[in-house]
Chains A and B, each alone.
Chain A
Amino acid sequence: MKVKTTRFGELEVNPNDLITFAEGLFGFENLKKYFVIDPGDSTLILWLQSTEDEKVAFPIIEPKIFKPDYIAKLLPADLNGLELESLQSAKLYSILTIPGNVTEMSANLKAPIVINSAKKIGKQIVLQDSKLSVKHEMYKELKTYIVNFSSDDARRTSYEPSIALESGDLKNTKTATRTLEAQ
Chain B
Amino acid sequence: MLVLTRKLGESIAIDDNIKIVVVQIKGKQVRLGIKAPKETKIHREEVYQAIQDQNTEAVQASMSDIARLGEELKKK
Asked if A67 is at the interface (CB within 8 A of a chain B CB), the reply is: no
Interface stretch among A10-18, A23-31, A154-162? A23-31
Write the nearest CB–CB distance from B5 to chain A, whole angstroms. 16
5 closest cross-chain pairs (CB), A and B: A27-B52, A77-B39, A102-B69, A76-B39, A98-B61
**Would you give 24 A-B contacts (Cβ < 8 Å), ordered by A?**
A26-B48, A26-B51, A27-B52, A42-B70, A57-B59, A58-B58, A59-B61, A78-B41, A95-B54, A97-B58, A108-B54, A143-B72, A166-B38, A173-B39, A174-B37, A178-B42, A179-B23, A179-B32, A180-B42, A181-B32, A182-B29, A182-B30, A182-B31, A183-B29
List chain B residues, Cβ under 8 A from A174: 37-38
> Chain B 40-55 against A: per-residue CB contact (8 Å), 1 yes, 0 no?
1111100110111111
List chain B residues, Cβ under 8 A from A146: 73-74
Interface size on B (CB < 8 Å)? 43
List chain B residues, Cβ under 8 A from A75: 38-39, 41
Asked if A142 is at the interface (CB within 8 A of a chain B CB), the reply is: yes
On whether the beta carbons of B51 and A111 are closer than 8 Å, the reply is yes
Most buried by A among B39, B42, B56, B74: B39
On whether the beta carbons of A173 and B29 are closer than 8 Å, the reply is no
Asked if A89 is at the interface (CB within 8 A of a chain B CB), the reply is: no
List chain A residues, Cβ under 8 A from B33: 177-179
List chain A residues, Cβ under 8 A from B40: 77
List chain B residues, Cβ under 8 A from A124: 51, 55
Q: Please give me the residue from chain B that is nearest to A177 by CB atom.
A: B35
Asked if B57 is at the interface (CB within 8 A of a chain A CB), the reply is: yes
Asked if A88 is at the interface (CB within 8 A of a chain B CB), the reply is: no
**B interface list, Cβ under 8 A from A:** 17, 23, 28-44, 47-48, 50-59, 61-63, 65-66, 68-70, 72-74, 76
> In the complex, A124 Cα to B55 Cα: how many Å?
11
Write the nearest CB–CB distance from A49 to chain B, whole angstroms. 10
Q: Please give me the residue from chain B that is nearest to A173 by CB atom.
A: B37
On whether the beta carbons of A181 and B38 are closer than 8 Å, the reply is no
> In the complex, A40 Cα to B28 Cα: how many Å?
52
Write the nearest CB–CB distance from B51 to chain A, whole angstroms. 5
List chain B residues, Cβ under 8 A from A128: 41-43
On whether the beta carbons of B34 and A177 are closer than 8 Å, the reply is yes
Q: Please give me the residue from chain B that is nearest to A79 by CB atom.
A: B39
